[in-house]
């Protein structure tokens, strides 16, 4: 991003199998954002993952950047689990502080369905903290595997750069 005023974009992501991470990294290059990984204290089995997501449960994560005092724009990148958000993402969202009035965007990575539901979950959580929703984008696992996600990232990045640019 090129403007006179420094805009601090934080891209926080959770990725179990690397797809969300790939997209988050590409996005960070585009918007000049800083990456922060949400790391579970312990990973559980796949069935348990789906169960925890289904019921909107939160699960312990390692310390990561949740105080947004120095952040001007937050991007949350997450996979879809059982049409919901992973428990570690739920935990991250619940811990966010000093977020009021700040803009955010959501990047959802999935096999084939559920992105809108996950966007709604993230929105509900962050809007309750006074944050302002800007945009969302979805990538498909098959496209990420094939390296076909540049255009999605580019278009998504544009919405963020436009919203983050200080008014002239």
Ligand X SMILES: Cc1cc2nc3c(=O)[nH]c(=O)nc-3n(C[C@H](O)[C@H](O)[C@H](O)COP(=O)(O)O)c2cc1C
What's the closest the beta carbon of residue 152 comes to ligand X, in angstroms?
14
Out of 101, 112, 146, 167, point to the residue binding ligand X (CB under 6 A).
Answer: 112
Closest CA to 82 of 112, 61, 58, 51: 51
Residue number with CB closer to ligand X (57 or 163): 57
CB atoms within 10 A of CB 52: 20
> With CB under 6 A as the contact rule, which of the stretches 26-34, 59-67, 105-113, 147-155 interacts with ligand X?
105-113
Closest CA to 21 of 30, 8, 11, 31: 11
What's the closest the beta carbon of residue 59 comes to ligand X, in angstroms?
12
Give residue 14's Cα distance to chain centre: 8
Interface positions, 1-60, toward ligand X (CB under 6 A): 15-21, 46, 49-50
Q: What is the 3-state secondary structure (H, E, C) of 9-27?
A: EEEEECCCCCHHHHHHHHH
Distance CA 122, CA 104 (A): 10
What's the closest the beta carbon of residue 38 comes to ligand X, in angstroms?
11
Distance CA 41, CA 38 (A): 10
Size of the site for ligand X (CB under 6 A): 22
Residue number with CB closer to ligand X (111 or 166): 111
Judged by CB under 6 A, does residue 114 bind ligand X? yes
Judged by CB under 6 A, does residue 152 bind ligand X? no
Out of 26, 27, 68, 80, point to the residue binding ligand X (CB under 6 A).
Answer: 80
Degrees, nearest 5: CA angle 45-46-51:
100
Residues that bind ligand X in the complex, under the rule CB under 6 A? 15-21, 46, 49-50, 79-83, 109-114, 141
């Amino acid at each position: 991003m090129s403007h006179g005023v420094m805009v601090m974009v934080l891209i926080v992501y959770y990725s179990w199998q690397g797809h969300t991470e790939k997209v988050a990294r590409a996005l960070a290059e585009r918007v000049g954002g800083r990456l922060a990984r949400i790391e579970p204290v312990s990973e559980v089995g796949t069935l348990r993952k789906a169960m925890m997501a289904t019921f909107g449960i939160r699960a312990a994560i390692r310390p990561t950047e949740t105080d947004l005092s120095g952040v001007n724009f937050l991007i949350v990148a997450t996979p879809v689990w059982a049409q919901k958000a992973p428990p570690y993402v739920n935990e991250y969202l619940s811990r966010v502080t000093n977020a009021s009035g700040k803009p955010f965007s959501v990047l959802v990575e999935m096999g084939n369905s559920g992105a809108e539901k996950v966007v709604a979950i993230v929105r509900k959580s962050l809007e309750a903290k006074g944050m302002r929703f800007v945009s969302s984008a979805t990538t498909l696992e098959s496209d990420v595997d094939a390296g076909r996600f540049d255009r999605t990232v580019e278009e998504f990045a544009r919405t963020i750069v436009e919203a983050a640019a200080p008014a002239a």
